[in-house]
Amino acid sequence: MNIQKILVADDHPIFRQGLIRTIESHSSFNIIAEVNDGMEAFNKIKELKPDIAILDISMPKMSGFEIVKKIRNLNLDVKIIILTMYSDEEFFNQAIDLDVKGYISKESAGEDLITALERVSNGNSYISPLLSDYVIKLDRERRSLVKAKPSLKNLTPTERQILKYLAENKTSKQIAEKLFISFKTVENHRANIRDKLNLKGLNSLLKFAIENKSRL
């Protein structure tokens, strides 16, 4: 794998240095910039064009989400990992809508960061188990208050199994190996599931799988 250029943006120096030490211990990643506010992060991303930008969700001058929106408007080819202290579903949904590839809880960043970087650098997504578990809990609590969920009855056993694996943060490649089918077949199944469930957006299937893990 090519060495990935990484930018780290967090306004807490001690936490930021901890992230940097973790990343520097792996030869697949090269930190090209570290910054402590959102405006500087955005300017450095434009200037240096990192492969992956790790952004704190809450920073002075510009939030992580504001940076992502500006990056999208400029069509910059930068993958984003968001760091957050918040487990609110609103933030989770916003990250999904903005096609953020990694969404990591600061509580578990030390454990999750390298896995997230490896997944994201390979074109996959990663969500901290702490955050996905919280979203599942919220979904259970409000189940009786929301409109009826898309029916799973039209899904084949294989499609349901693929959803289960997605909820476990498995990549398409890993799912293909588990089911002894090709990567392309998994991708076709994922497209069929989205159509059957009327899901829109690149990460909508992952979000659905996490929120409905208990139903699969």
- pLDDT for the residue numbered 145: 42
Handedness of CA 121, 123, 124, 127 (dihedral sign): positive
- pLDDT for the residue numbered 144: 47
**Coil, strand or helix at 165:** helix
CATH of range 147-215; options 1.10.10.10, 3.40.50.1820, 1.10.40.30, 3.20.10.10: 1.10.10.10
CA gap 132, 47 in Å, rounded: 34
What residues does 13 pair with on adjacent strands?
none
Q: Which CATH superfamily is domain 4-131 in?
A: Response regulator (3.40.50.2300)
DSSP line for 66-97:
HHHHHHHHTT---EEEEEES---HHHHHHHHH
Question: What residue segments make up the domains of the chain, in order of their start?
Answer: 4-131, 147-215
Tens digit of each residue's pLDDT, the chain (216 residues): 589 999 999 999 999 999 999 999 999 999 999 999 999 999 999 999 999 999 999 999 999 999 999 999 999 999 999 998 876 677 888 887 888 999 998 888 888 999 999 999 998 888 888 776 655 555 555 554 445 556 788 899 999 999 999 998 889 999 999 999 999 999 999 999 998 888 887 678 888 888 888 877
DSSP line for 11-44:
S-HHHHHHHHHHHHTSTTEEEEEEESSHHHHHHH
